[in-house]
Amino acid sequence: MVAEIGFGALIVAFVVSIYGIVAGIYGARRHAEPWLESGRRAMLLTWPLITLAVLCLVALLVGGHYEVQYVYNVTSSFMPLYLKVTALWGGQAGSLVFWSWLMAAFASAVTLRKWDRDREFLPWVIVVTLVTLAFFLGLVIFVENPFVRFWQMPDGRQAVAMFAPRGALPLVPMEGRGLNPLLRHPGMILHPPMLYLGFVSFVIPYAFGIAALVTGRTDDRWIRITRRWTLVAWLFLSLGLILGSRWAYDVLGWGGYWGWDPVEIAAFMPWLSGTAFLHSVMIQEKRGLFKRWNMILIILTYALVIFGTFLTRSGVLSSVHAFAQSAIGPLFFGFIAITFLGSLGLLLYRWNDLRSEGVMTSLLSREALFLLNNLLFMGVLVVCFWGVIYPLISEIITGQKVTVGPSYYERSTGPLFAALLLLMGIAPLSAWGHSTLKTLGRALWKPLVASVVIVVGLWVGGIRAWSALLAFWLVALVSLVTLYEYYRAVVARHRRTGENYLRALWNLAGRNRRRYGGYIIHLGVVLMALGIIGIELFQTETQGTVQPGGSLRLGNYTMLFQRLDVFDTQDGRNVARAVVSVFKGDRYVGELHPRRDFFYDSQQTMTIPGVRSTMEDDFYVLLVDWQSSAQGITFKVYHNPLVNWLWVGGLVFILGTLVAAWPDREAEPTRARATQSLAAQRVRP
Amino acid sequence: MSQPAVEIPRPGGNRAKFIVGGLLIVAAIVYLIASSTQASAQYFLTVEELRARADEVRGREARISGAVLGDTIQYDPQSLQLSFEIAHVPGDNKEIEVQGGLAAVLHAAVNDPTRPRIKVVYHGVKPDLLRHEAQAIVTGKLGEDGVFYAEELLLKCPTKYEEALPEQAGN
């Protein structure tokens, strides 16, 4: 019964979306208010409908209704309640429902707020979001239905279907297969929803962009309206990526955080184009340049969002993340092709309306450096895209499948990331409109000198690898420039207003959130870079098999294997847990418990490292084997210097994004950007 | 990629500066991609193809996949020396589908003694998923001795993946 209600709600939501699309288009073309209003109501109705479907699915998951195939595949009676609920996105069909649910929620949020203000855009926003929603609902209903059940046919065969085939009896398995153990981790519980939220919220700026193209309102209004949406989308996408890395570090047990897996890249690509978009819209707002380029970026981001969902769902590329192969691949591909080509067609149609309003004059101006930033982000994107599709291309052209491994990505993105870091140090100091080496040099020389001093200090301290020195120099430069910018602005404000420094800082950030939030984000990136440099350039590892009382050495660290405990737990695991004492030099610094969990329901093991984590380094111990040898137990040990800065940097990064996206105190001024004189623009925002 | 260059209109010698600068960067990116692709390309081969083209592929990075034969697995935990044999499975997803899915293909591969096989040697910890009828995806090089020396070992167990029907069921 619950399954029927859920499935019914999905079908109604699908029909309502189709109706909303038709009503929206018709109403917008004919300027027919009642139709528009009706389309809007249809859109608002989708969310409660899909909510009902989600609740039904959750009820089935929590209730252990194993006759439903999806429930059978992703839950078992051993799993705690919260995992049963979050199993909603633990498999393919459920996560598509979840995607649709988020999409409907965001679409509703757009039309509930400021319906009157954005009147000319909203009909088309409704159409675009509902088309996206209808596509996903269609997938769920026709191809990947989470409500299908097992049936016992009269002739003894088993069948899977939504409704009972003639004469069939329900087939109820005694127990489910359980969620993949790798997914039973807090990071994995939060990571997919964050990523999906990021994906879904990028649909909103795209919808406004398309609406601007359709209606011909091609000034920067669509950008101003969606500025906060874009930041929110970006926030969630960033959070999703960071949480995913943390999960990999904690759970996958290879001592790393990022493996250049196709699916990781699939989530990374919309982030790249979205980041380029975030930067380049500022040029359009300030200078009226890059209008076409911004359209291209948001269209690209939307395509990459769908492509990302497609890659994780279709099994077209082999990856640890991919679910089983299914029929939805070609459908995704078709949808991407249609929306992408359609959007480009619209863009070409409005091409001449999107002419730049100004000229770029100086190579060192802020806008020129933003352009460079965009080129570099696009460069990283092309590197990623090429790497992902290279096997397919080479197979089509030469008939021979050739892949590229992580070394390809590291080699080609390394210089680009370094250049981006350098740019991050310089760009905030340059002025809009016009900058020269002289003005730039005046602002830059103090942080530059200080950063060189730091690098010399590191060299004296014994670091000789030039790549590390270069990386640390970049990190030092960007941090110093950013802090110096803060310092200068706070001192200036203190002098002008007489506020104390803290108050001045607070007001400063409050008055220009995007700018000062942006600087915090830059600081976060720098800290993350520090962690990445540490683990990429200085990671060491060793492995060995030891008896109780035996030890392994790695660098300055020694681990002493004490004993191994093997026991069963209440929630269906068999745990093998080693007790290991860690010494740094001769000093005892703590006890670690690397362990392996064997899950009876899914017959899988999971390796959980024991980690001693400090800001200086992580000592990361894996229990890799304890059964196959009488000679002892095999451990793998990693020393990951500075890696904690990656997570600290991630927090700072998210904090900065929150500052930038936080609503302004007063209502957002909707003034159009007047054609300011060049002289006026030289004053930084 | 060169799109922004189009957007810088009109007079003066500045335009040339921007275009030259942009082209330089684009060229640098293309060079990076091309050289890195060259340096880290891995051939994706089936066991059959690897056998057939052994001379051509020997010493180059390759990635092969096959079905693990359970009784050939040898592991010395002291030296972390692991070796096993894999049997040929089709590389094409469609072909796998036609033959009844990954589980069926793997099952058929290990039970067919006529299939081409190859010995894989790997230095490292034996993964849990390495068992009979698992799919091994190994990256490494074919040695002179006809043994495949793997640097990376990935395993997929078909039982891990969503299957249509439950194994044990009662009404």
Residues B117 and A1: their CA atoms lie apart, in Å, by: 51
Distance from the first to the final alpha carbon of chain B: 61
Strand, coil or helix: A566: strand
- Chain A positions touching B37 (Cβ under 8 A) are 386, 390, 404, 408
Residue of A nearest to B158 (CA): A324
Q: Are A298 and A280 in contact (CB under 8 A)?
A: no
Provide DSSP, A43-67: HHHHHHHHHHHHHHHHHHHHHT-TT
With 0-12 / 13-18 / 19 or more C-beta atoms within 10 angstroms meaning exposed / middle / buried, residue A302 is buried
C-alpha angle with apex B49: B43 to B50, nearest 5 degrees?
65
The angle that helices A33-63 and A122-138 make with each other, rounded to 10 degrees, is 30
Is the CB of residue B104 less than 8 Å away from at least one CB of chain A? Answer: no
pTM: 0.86
Which residues 132-151 of B have a C-beta within 8 angstroms of A? 137, 139
**pLDDT on residue A68:** 93
Binary contact (B8, A356; C-beta < 8 A)? yes
Q: What are phi and psi of A666, to 5 degrees?
A: -90, 165
Residues A638 and A564: their CA atoms lie apart, in Å, by: 20
Helices and strands in chain A, H and E counts: 19, 14
Binary contact (A402, B42; C-beta < 8 A)? yes
Q: Are A577 and A595 in contact (CB under 8 A)?
A: yes
Binary contact (B32, A412; C-beta < 8 A)? yes
**Alpha-carbon distance B2 to nearest alpha carbon in chain A (angstroms):** 8
Is the CB of residue B161 less than 8 Å away from at least one CB of chain A? Answer: yes
Residue of A nearest to B129 (CA): A604
Strands B135-142 and A587-592: unpaired
Residue of A nearest to B43 (CA): A402
For residue B155, what are the contacts with CB-CB under 8 A and spacing of at least 6?
Answer: B68, B127, B129, B130, B134, B135, B136, B137
**pLDDT on residue A289:** 83
Residues A131 and A125: their CA atoms lie apart, in Å, by: 10
Bridge partners (DSSP) listed for residue A401:
B44
Mean predicted confidence (pLDDT) in B68-77? 87
Binary contact (A386, B164; C-beta < 8 A)? no
Block means of pLDDT (10 residues each) for chain A, 685 residues, are 93 96 92 90 94 97 92 88 89 89 91 72 92 95 91 85 86 84 78 90 94 88 88 93 88 79 88 94 85 93 90 50 56 90 94 82 83 94 91 79 84 92 88 79 87 92 85 92 88 87 84 86 93 90 87 92 90 90 93 90 81 91 76 87 93 93 58 38 38
A129: nearest Cα among A40, A251, A57: A40
* ipTM of the complex as predicted: 0.78
> For testing the chain B interface, which of A370, A403, A605 should be mutated: the one with the most B CBs within 10 Å?
A403
**Alpha-carbon distance B18 to nearest alpha carbon in chain A (angstroms):** 7
**pLDDT on residue A571:** 79
Strand, coil or helix: A163: coil
**pLDDT tens by residue, B83-108:** 999 999 887 766 777 777 777 888 88
Total beta-carbon pairs less than 8 A apart between chain A and chain B: 177
- For residue B107, how many other CB atoms are within 10 A of its CB? 16
**Alpha-carbon distance A241 to nearest alpha carbon in chain B (angstroms):** 23
Which residues 49-78 of B have a C-beta within 8 angstroms of A? 61, 63, 75, 77-78
Binary contact (A386, B37; C-beta < 8 A)? yes
- For residue A13, how many other CB atoms are within 10 A of its CB? 28
Binary contact (A374, B4; C-beta < 8 A)? yes
Would you place residue B160 in the very low, low, confident or very high pLDDT band (cuts 50, 70, 90)? very low
Per-residue exposure over A218-257, b if at least 16 CB sit within 10 Å of its own CB, e if not: bbbbbbbbbbbbbbbbbbbbbbbbbbbbbbbbbbbbebbb
Residues A317 and A335: their CA atoms lie apart, in Å, by: 18
**pLDDT on residue A25:** 93
Residues A320 and A331: their CA atoms lie apart, in Å, by: 22
Would you place residue B159 in the very low, low, confident or very high pLDDT band (cuts 50, 70, 90)? very low
Mean predicted confidence (pLDDT) in B10-14? 53
Tokens of residue A683, six digits = 């004053």
**pLDDT on residue A434:** 75
Instruction: Please count the CA atoms within 13 angstroms of the CA of B108 that sit on its side-chain side.
Output: 11
Residue of B nearest to A631 (CA): B78
Q: Are A299 and A344 in contact (CB under 8 A)?
A: yes
Between residues A635 and B166, the one the model is more confident about:
A635
Residues B140 and B143: their CA atoms lie apart, in Å, by: 9
- Chain A positions touching B26 (Cβ under 8 A) are 375
**pLDDT on residue A681:** 38
A372: nearest Cα among A442, A426, A303, A437: A426
**pLDDT on residue B3:** 43
CA distances from A445 to A438, A441, A442, A456 (A): 10, 6, 6, 16
For residue A412, what are the contacts with CB-CB under 8 A and spacing of at least 6?
Answer: A383, B32, B33, B35, B36
**pLDDT on residue A601:** 77
Q: Are A121 and A212 in contact (CB under 8 A)?
A: yes
- Chain A positions touching B6 (Cβ under 8 A) are 292
- Chain B positions touching A158 (Cβ under 8 A) are 165-166, 169
Helices and strands in chain B, H and E counts: 6, 7
Q: Is the dihedral of CA A215, A220, A225, A226 positive or negative?
A: positive
Identify the DSSP state of A491.
H
Tokens of residue A614, six digits = 């400090």
Domain boundaries, chain B: 43-169
- For residue A264, how many other CB atoms are within 10 A of its CB? 22
Would you place residue B13 in the very low, low, confident or very high pLDDT band (cuts 50, 70, 90)? low
CATH H superfamily, domain B43-169: Nucleic acid-binding proteins (2.40.50.140)
Residue of B nearest to A168 (CA): B171
Residues B133 and B71: their CA atoms lie apart, in Å, by: 11
Bridge partners (DSSP) listed for residue A123:
none
**Alpha-carbon distance B154 to nearest alpha carbon in chain A (angstroms):** 9
A65: nearest Cα among A55, A76, A80: A76
Distance from the first to the final alpha carbon of chain A: 59
A279: nearest Cα among A265, A293, A300, A258: A293
Residues A481 and A573: their CA atoms lie apart, in Å, by: 51
- Strand (E) or helix (H) holding A285: helix A262-287
